[in-house]
Structure formats: C-alpha cells, structure tokens
Amino acid sequence: MLRKLYDATWGRLFAATYDWFLGATEKAGLHDMRRELLSEASGRTLEIGAGTGLNHDLYPDAVTELVLTEPFEPMARRLRERVAAQASAGGSASGAAGPAAVRPTEIVEAPGDALPFPDDSFDTVVVTLVLCTVPDPAATLAEVARVLEPGGRMLFLEHVRADDESLARWQDRLHGPWYAFGHGCNCNRDTLAAIERSPLSVEHADPGEMPKAPPIVRPILTGSARRAA
C-alpha cells in the first residue's frame, strides 16, 4: 500500500521532472557519453529500463531493430511520447532524417528481472543508469545473459560505489534519503562486482565521472560484457 502511494505521488513527479533534473548533466557531457557507448550497438537491440527515452535517437544505423523496456508506467508513457515525436520529426531532435524514423521500435512495459522474450533474442543489450535501481541485479543480469545471442554484448553506463573510501562511506550514510529521492536508486551499489558474478564476461569497464552530478552518484563505469559464444 505504501509503495503504491509512493509511486502515485513522488514516483509520478519524479518521472515528470526526470529530464529536467538530468538536463545540466546531459549538456555537460553525459549525452556525449551515451552516444559514444551506443555507437557500439548493432543488430537487434534491447534497452532495459529505457526511462523517458534519452538514448532513443542516439542509436547508430547498425541497430536494425530496437526494443525498449520500462516497468514504471509514468516513465513508459513519456517514452512512448518521445519515440513517437522523434519518428514524426524525422528521427532526431533536429528534425533531420535519421535511423530512428524508419527503424522498427517496440516499447514493452516489463521489469529487467522478468523479460518477456525468448532465449537468444538479441545481439546487443543496453543498460544506462539502470542497474542502480533494479531490485535484484543478479536476476536482471541473468535475464540479460539469457536473452542475448551467444557472443552477444551488454553495453553499460552506470554510476557505482566509489573506490574512494571516504566517498563510499558518504554513499552508505546517504543511501536512505537518496533511495527515497531517486525512486529506488541505490547510490552505493557495487555494480561491477555484480556483473563479474553474472554469466557475462566483462570486456572492459572504464571509470569516469558523471558531470554536474551530486558527489554520491558521480563515480561511473562505462563498458561492455559478453555472453560466451
């Protein structure tokens, strides 16, 4: 009951203000980080937790089909609106013709730990600022491995637990308030360790910082992991 009330109040406001909240961070470099990561996507591609669709018009021509999942209905509604608007504008924010205008795109309301797709369905799976929020990272990563084709890749951009012990302690102290504010976001989650424990093999994980972000969510990793061929 309390969760439903939380989702119906703060959750809806969080979805409505998500793009605004990330606006300065996107302009300061996160948008370019997304674009660089997604340049490696190809073939039939699944994005888990697509949110309001900030990645949608950044996928390259090599992506032949795109499936976007988002479990939270207020986010999914904004995702559908953005995909429709970008398609009608010609596939990009500028209105120039692009692959988003013609690429088959499907939106599915589903959680990451219960993906409604057959085994070996996708060449690429994308997660950006998602593994911090899923209730069960191990189950979500197991699902990623299941739906990937043998040899397929997961591309990730995630904020993570800090290597710096002082900052990590602050992440632990502020976890509760941030979890409530961030609609289930865990600022202190060791996501790299979770990926390393999963059926996927990490290819590379490059540390960085999320620009103009609160310090407790500033440490990030971008990289890829592969399902065994």
Secondary structure of residue 185 in the 3-state scheme:
coil
pLDDT attached to residue 100: 57
Q: In what order do the strands lie in the sheet with 148-159?
A: 105-108, 63-69, 43-47, 122-128, 148-159, 219-226, 201-209
pLDDT attached to residue 98: 52
What is the chain's mean pLDDT, rounded?
93
pLDDT attached to residue 103: 82
Which pLDDT tens digit goes with each residue over 162-192?
999 999 999 999 999 999 999 999 999 999 9
- Whether the predicted pLDDT of 141 surpasses 80: yes
Q: H helices within the chain, ranges in order?
A: 2-6, 12-25, 31-38, 73-88, 137-147, 165-173, 175-181, 191-197
| Phi, psi values for residue 189, rounded to 5° | -80, 130
- Whether the predicted pLDDT of 44 surpasses 80: yes
Which pLDDT tens digit goes with each residue over 65-122?
999 999 999 999 999 999 999 888 765 443 334 555 568 899 999 999 999 999 999 9
Contacts of 228 (CB under 8 A, 6+ apart): 150, 151, 199, 201
pLDDT attached to residue 97: 42
